[in-house]
Chains A and B, each alone.
Chain A
């Protein structure tokens, strides 16, 4: 499988300022109490491989995360219903805070270092699939706050459908069957209680040869493996799934796709760990403490992050799969 490593020289503080992140988490904790205390929570098997063999991993903001013993994915074993989660996205104070405080204040750097590479990637996939950009039939399924939609449309690129993350949400349109050249799921699978169901819909909506483009967090990425509960990439209820490399491939391929590219172009694993060094357990802590102090100013951290990218061990995934 081909893969790509990415260097944008992005810094964690540029897109997730520490203080803002702490406030966001505090607000999220309140939202969980306010919105989910009196609702029904359902138990799930692994959303990637459907196994029920799990071990307890950590509890975070009221959600119990387990690790699938089969595919190594991490997921919230009990979740509110999709309708209740939808209320969080629509009414949660933490979501409002994210947009106004974090999203808008980091918009410029995100546009340059996060959104533009995504746009380049999407355009490249269209060309690889012999699709003319202006005539492309493209849908994006999932959160509409990634900045990608605005960036994509601002370049005059077509975007036919913006399907909602949750079925009861106000919908602009529905996915048509056997129709699209490409469908994007940008950090969507991480948020769904039943991602396999959504992937099936996407499969039927794509034309034969159409491309599925997925971005996701990865539990098999280094910062998630080392930091676990303290990782900034898993903040429920926004991230109820963190698939492993193996789990994500299995999920996508069992939905009928063939995975052609799997990259982990994350640039922040090592930096995230160093940022949270006081929370890292002994054994790992000494290593990261050493490289961040004694080898500061060398290219070691960059090279270590490159190693993670080259071996699909970073915590961000970028996947192209084709409907055959």
Chain B
């Protein structure tokens, strides 16, 4: 299969490495409008600064790794031209964007569409999901997530803090991963309440969001999404009927979120104070992150076998964006 990439920044570079490692894929064309991020000369693929070159090319599938404002239009146009699309998250700037994308997807039944909700494929998350599926810990009662960074390199000048490009602040940019994980474990949440603020960075977009979720017949949830976390943190906690699971840390290139671990503990009913302080636990340490490969392999499987994309699908994107939209409305950000 011939592959195109639109956007050769950080994520485009990652997708490129995954594509080039697969014999069944041929990277044919890479588009990047920023001169500083263009691939160097002498590449075995075409390099262009015009996305229309990718749209009009003969590639079979395209990775859309652009800022948020470009994702909907590019995804829709690519699908109209019969190309399979793997787009980064978030799927645009607003709930309406993903609604429009899904409408286009419906009109292009032969193409596959997947979004880069990559955290689902991290080893700690996969393992926790497997354990939940054994049923040995009962149902999930609640979830709690903290996902925080300090902003990032050149944060002040990043497109992520410009509303017309990004559509939202830290909650849309990074917190949406955690919301997707909440959905991944718990299903839908009907009620969403939120506070959002920009007390530190002073941009027009939030730098902290606190979101509380509830499902009437299912779990409740809570998320803190932050761009003022001076020690990067990823923590997802699951409270189940017969135990708990905590995924802490995230394997990444920089290692800034710490080593990825999964702690699993059981409910105990000895002396209550003893059990609360010192329950039996197992802590697994992971050292290999295959998430980038796993999600692309799932996408390729769907294309090869002409079967629906069931993970990180447009429906998953819609669910995540629905929560983001409700949170922004409830907090007054929109």
Chain A residues close to B by CB (< 8 Å): 1-9, 113, 117, 120, 123-124, 127-128, 133, 265, 310
Contact = CB atoms under 8 A, between A and B. Distances in A.
Contacts of A113: 280
Given A120-B136, A123-B136, A127-B133, A2 B123 contact: yes
B130 A127 contact: yes
B102 to A, nearest CB: 29
12 contacts: A2-B284, A2-B285, A2-B286, A2-B287, A3-B285, A4-B283, A5-B285, A113-B280, A123-B134, A124-B131, A127-B130, A310-B285
Contact of A128 (B130, B280, B282, B286): B130
Contact of B283 (A5, A124, A127): A5
B282 A1 contact: no
Contacts of A3: 284-285
A124 B285 contact: no
Contacts of A6: 280-283
B282 A117 contact: yes
A5 B282 contact: yes
A173 B133 CA distance: 32
Contacts of B130: 124, 127-128
Instruction: Tell me the dominant secondary structure on chain B's binding face.
Output: mixed
A163 B239 CA distance: 39
Given A6-B280, A123-B136, 10 more contacts: A2-B287, A2-B288, A6-B283, A7-B280, A7-B282, A9-B278, A117-B282, A127-B133, A128-B126, A133-B134
* Chain B interface residue number, banded: 10 to 19
Interface in B284-315: 284-288
A4 B285 contact: yes
Nearest to A113: B280
A133 B127 CA distance: 16
Contacts of B282: 4-7, 117, 120, 265
Interface in B240-273: none
A265 B282 CA distance: 9
Contacts of A124: 127, 130-131, 134
Contacts of B281: 6-7
Interface string B120-142: 00010011001101101000000
A9 B268 CA distance: 12
Contacts of A123: 134, 136
A2 B131 CA distance: 16
A127 B284 CA distance: 16
A64 B119 CA distance: 53
In the complex, the 6 A-B pairs of residues with the closest C-beta atoms, listed nearest first: A127-B130, A4-B284, A8-B280, A7-B281, A5-B283, A6-B282
Contacts of B283: 4-7
Nearest to B123: A2
Contacts of B280: 6-9, 113, 117
A310 B285 CA distance: 9
Contacts of B133: 127
Nearest to B274: A9
A128 B284 CA distance: 14
Nearest to A306: B283
B129 to A, nearest CB: 9
Contacts of A4: 282-285
A218 to B, nearest CB: 18
A170 B134 CA distance: 34
A117 B243 CA distance: 14
A127 B287 contact: no
Nearest to A117: B282
B285 A127 contact: no
Nearest to A123: B134
Nearest to A8: B280
Nearest to A309: B283
Chain B CB within 10 Å, residue with most, of A2, A7, A117, A265:
A2
B105 to A, nearest CB: 28
Interface in B97-123: 123
Contacts of B134: 123-124, 127, 133
A76 B72 CA distance: 69
Contact of A1 (B127, B131, B136, B287): B287
B266 to A, nearest CB: 8
Nearest to A6: B282
A7 B278 CA distance: 9
Nearest to B286: A2
B326 to A, nearest CB: 33
B37 to A, nearest CB: 35
B308 to A, nearest CB: 19
